[in-house]
Structure 1
Amino acid sequence: MTGRSHFTYNVAGATPMVQWSAVYGGAEPDEDRNLGAERWSATSADYVLEEPPSSIQTKSNDGGKRSVVSAVGELAPHRQLGLVTDEAQRQAMILAHARWDAPESRHLTTWLAMASQNPATLQGIIAERLTRHPEDVAALRVEQQLDKGQGQNAACERQQKMAAGKPASPALAYLSIRCMPEGQAQDEAFLAGQQRWPQDPWFALASGYVLASRGDWSAANEVWSKAAMGPQTAEFTAPELARVKRMLGASDQELQPLAAESAHLTSLLALDSTEVMGSQYEAYIHLHRGEYQGAVAMAELDAELFPQVLRLAGASDGAPEDLIKKALDLPAEEGISPDSAWSMWALALRQGRNEAVWREKALATDAEEAARVVAFVDAVRANASVQQAEAVLGNVRPANRGYAYTVAAVVRGQSCPQAWRDGAKKLLFGTERPHLM
């Protein structure tokens, strides 16, 4: 029966609710309403947490409509949180997923990362999870990180004992290797583990990083393709695999099947396509057409987007002097991101303004690898050969290699080696770099 009042219980406040209209005939739908993620709510919607009928009987030819309340728990975490404006509800959602999502859940790692903003609470959640699921890899990874943040080693000692007691467990072997000091020995151990357990997604994930950091794109493509099939590892493997596939010549159209495994990759590809036409993100389309003034004008409609687009435009090939000046005049703390930090450091180097400030911003983007990118750029500026500069850069992740090549392209201009210019365009998506011709 339609029109009755319903009380709805949202378990642990874990899922946002949306009210929308099912329309029939020529009826006009009501505007969708985000209902937040309250535990208990009352609604007079016609259908609550059930599918509306495919057709209805009406007394006129104007059609009709029925109101529907649906849960949207299938969305990626960032999209779910975007539907909830109440901060307390948002935090409750994050903690509920971190506590109760199954170990094989596609988005568990993302929810745990979000919950890490509150380490004390997360520590208790991880202890609860491990009581229920002692070999929950995502939780055990976080246990290692929490210990590391406190300067302790108890988690690794315990997990290494677990691995010694179950030598046939790929998950525990992977976790034990994660406890090793970073470097050549750890890299080789990950590769050996992947050879022993070729279908294990966690070893595929780790060995893919090793191979991609070495620039072995074909081998990285092979193992990351396996990691992209694992529910726990697909979300954050897919964007890295896409970078590798682009280096191997894949078009963005050919990456669409892979995007189905990752909300983040879906977003990166959408922002590089005509899907954003009509929104403020059309600014990126103008940017990479070389229409810099139009890109900046469109981005002005969005206070968060504007500094990012202005900085990328200012560092782009052939940018006009007025945009370069505007980008350099923008306060360094305004809307900074890792992408714009590298582009702005490159522009500051080329223009001789505020180089030291932006060098520090760039160094802060990655505690493990940014220093090598900076050393690479310094070698390029000292007229090192391609081979010498690459040796200084060494083994870094695909995106950081893309940042290195981007800075070289901005600083060196048309004298930049074509391989670096091409690498920057393939390893970084359009929202991550300036326009390079």
Structure 2
Amino acid sequence: MDFGFSREDEDFRAEVRAWLAAHVHRTADRRTWERTLGADGWIGLGWPEAGYGNRAATLTQQVVWAEEYARSAAPPRSGHIGENLLAPTLLAHGTAEQKSRFLPPVAAGEELWCQGYSEPGAGSDLAGVRTAAVREGDRYRISGQKIWTSLAREADWCFVLARTDPESRRHHGLGFLLVPMDQPGRVEVRPIRQMTGTSDFNEVFFDGAYARVEHLVGGEGRGWEVAMSLLGFERGVATLAQQVGFAAELDAVVRAAVESGAVRDPVVRARLVRQWAELRTMRRHALRTLGGSAGPGAPSVAKLLWGTWHQRLGELAVQVRGARAAVGPADWSPSAPYELGADQHLFLFSRADTIYGGSDQVQRTIIAERVLGLPREPKGAV
């Protein structure tokens, strides 16, 4: 796809830059920041429908917003799950009542969402979910456990994939339910401490939590279809913003290599050049995907590309610092002796890049079976 920007796009870019420059450093917390974005209509630019408090924007303008936001050092988004995953799903599968109830608060930054998909023993194998939703009159009673749930401690709502038919197996008999998180004694969130020392993910326990029948999206037994549709929205314009962040990380690694003298090593120099070239390739692939010319396996290809690329960048980040990378951050301070440096955090956190969002093995299986038409792997094969 030709992604040349028009005069209107460049005018839009100037508006975006001016707004971000005026607002980025004036917000104290992330929830307030979401409301600030919503008040001026910056949430929901990519929705195929306007009128929920969001602005209408062309695809190129969405790219402009995503890239300028990444460059502005604006706070990480707390509302992206509701904006980029739930909202497009409701626009595709939701009732008029569901849209009118849930989309305006997302666009206003008033309600935050988390995703209840993965479970212990059913992470990448999403069809193996065991969380049960039993209908009781005008509501469902939900029991089960979800894991690796980002933003669960801040979220007001969770969209939950649960088994509404107890006799069903695999991808049959599932429901896609919108569940309020404020149910004391029925919904419990436990942070998961990672090896980086942070807790970006959580376990969520549903012990008889309730969801209203009218908050079942897509109807009985169509949860798998709705869930798969949602995953198709997961990798869109946001991948270009992600790559802006990757470019900033690569620049920092290059600077560290120059400062430490590691850049004089021809092997290190070759690896830096390879990282730069592959990042440019990922951008072209992302643009082709947005233009609809990259083929049905494009999301899986993109995940394989950036996951392994980011891991190798993390390895390179600590390599160029040498032995010092194992001791402490470059800006070590006696007041925070155990804080990780940016390079150490990048190395440790990127170990998960080839697992979350669909492991590399799952992505290769999707490409092999659904794109190349290769025979399915026998069940139980080692």
| Length-normalised TM-score, structure 2 | 0.28
Greater helix content: 1
| Length-normalised TM-score, structure 1 | 0.26
